[in-house]
Amino acid sequence: MKAKIIPSMIPSVGHSESSQVSHEEILQCTWFLSASSAFALIEALEQAAEQGAFALQALTLFEGEERDLWHVQALCFSEKETPQTLGSILRETLGHFPPPENVTILPHMDWLKHSATKRPPLELGAFYIHEQEDPPSATARFSLCIEATTAFGSGHHETTQGCLALIQTLAKDAPWTRALDFGCGSGILTLAMNALCPGSAEGCDHDPESMRIARDNAILNDLPSVFYLGDAPAMVPYDLIVANLFANLLLDLAPVFSRNATQQLILSGLLREQTEDVVSRYASLGWQLQHTLSLNAWDSLWLKRRS
């Protein structure tokens, strides 16, 4: 089973102005949906929480091994809600989405951090990706220490692996001079680019916790890197932009990336059935697909600006 942990950037507030959030317990809601419905539900849950319908701690998306269904889990703070009343709130606020298949009470803890469990080390091309307690690699050219944290980007998800593979291809065949890792999470892709081409890459993310973790990882790996909270300043031109996001975000950001990337793009976070729409959108803005790297259900794309 593969998982993508999605930290919630929604403040933990109750569904009404008078409610006081208790950290005594958390309600876990679970859905089993097709891939496209699961990603749409993630967006709907974040929007509903932002509007104050309920309070989120984390969302987790699991790729199930059976029935070709994805598992969506939402962890919601609650003081007064019971599984039954929260189920009613979710039915009212999520419209056409089905109600959760189950709602259970969990003891309070930082479940997002708890989900970031120890993972085995990986060798991905020239990179050995590990945690501090793992033994060193005798063969890898570069070693990246990435601790299990609440920021996305451990190297174990296919979207990150696809980006790392394409970055290594570009470093050999079409090297960059200035790159941006947009939505950098843990900073793993920024650090990989700076290992291959020292001082060439910067990262940005809208999540303050990701910024803290990315900067810590840069220090831990002795790879000086610049990270910006929010967008990179004025989105100055980069000859390469790397973005491991969701398909809808990649579609929305196509004009922004087209204005600010002068030569190449690496785009990931795409399910295979979403690739055609993304490629078509970027083609309309002057980009040509060079290569698609497929890992299980996920695609990573390398595009070049048409001359």
Integer-rounded Cα Rg, in Å, for the chain is 20
Strand 2-7: give its sheet, edge to edge: 2-7, 55-63, 70-78, 25-33, 102-107
Span 176-186, mean pLDDT?
94
Spatial separation of the C-alpha atoms in residues 26 and 85, rounded to whole Å = 14
Spatial separation of the C-alpha atoms in residues 62 and 73, rounded to whole Å = 8
Cβ atoms of residues 86 and 29 within 8 Å: yes
Counting runs of H as helices and runs of E as strands, what totals does the chain give? 9, 15
pLDDT of residue 10: 32
122-305, CATH topology level:
Rossmann fold (3.40.50)
Q: Taking 50 as the threshold, does the pLDDT of residue 2 lie above it?
A: no
Spatial separation of the C-alpha atoms in residues 265 and 52, rounded to whole Å = 36
Domain ranges of the chain: 2-115, 122-305
Q: How far is CA 19 from CA 53, 72, 285, 288, in A?
A: 11, 26, 48, 52
Spatial separation of the C-alpha atoms in residues 269 and 228, rounded to whole Å = 21
Confidence label for 234 from pLDDT (cuts 50, 70 and 90): low
Q: Which two tokens stand for residue 27?
A: 């309600």
Which is higher by pLDDT, 10 or 3?
3
pLDDT of residue 108: 55
Q: Taking 90 as the threshold, does the pLDDT of residue 227 lie above it?
A: yes
Pick the CATH number of 2-115 from 3.40.50.300, 1.10.10.10, 3.30.70.260, 3.30.1330.40: 3.30.70.260
Cβ atoms of residues 179 and 200 within 8 Å: yes
pLDDT of residue 188: 95
Span 171-193, mean pLDDT?
94
Beta strands 226-229; 201-205: pairing state = parallel
Q: Taking 70 as the threshold, does the pLDDT of residue 19 lie above it?
A: no
Q: Taking 90 as the threshold, does the pLDDT of residue 27 lie above it?
A: no
Q: Residues 63-77: pLDDT tens digits? A: 665 556 778 888 777
Span 221-248, mean pLDDT?
87
Q: How far is CA 251 from CA 11, 42, 49, 277, 284, in A?
A: 27, 17, 23, 8, 11
Beta strands 261-271; 238-244: pairing state = parallel
Phi/psi-derived region of residue 73, left when phi > 0, alpha when psi is between -120 and 50, beta in every other case: beta
Three-class DSSP category at 174: coil
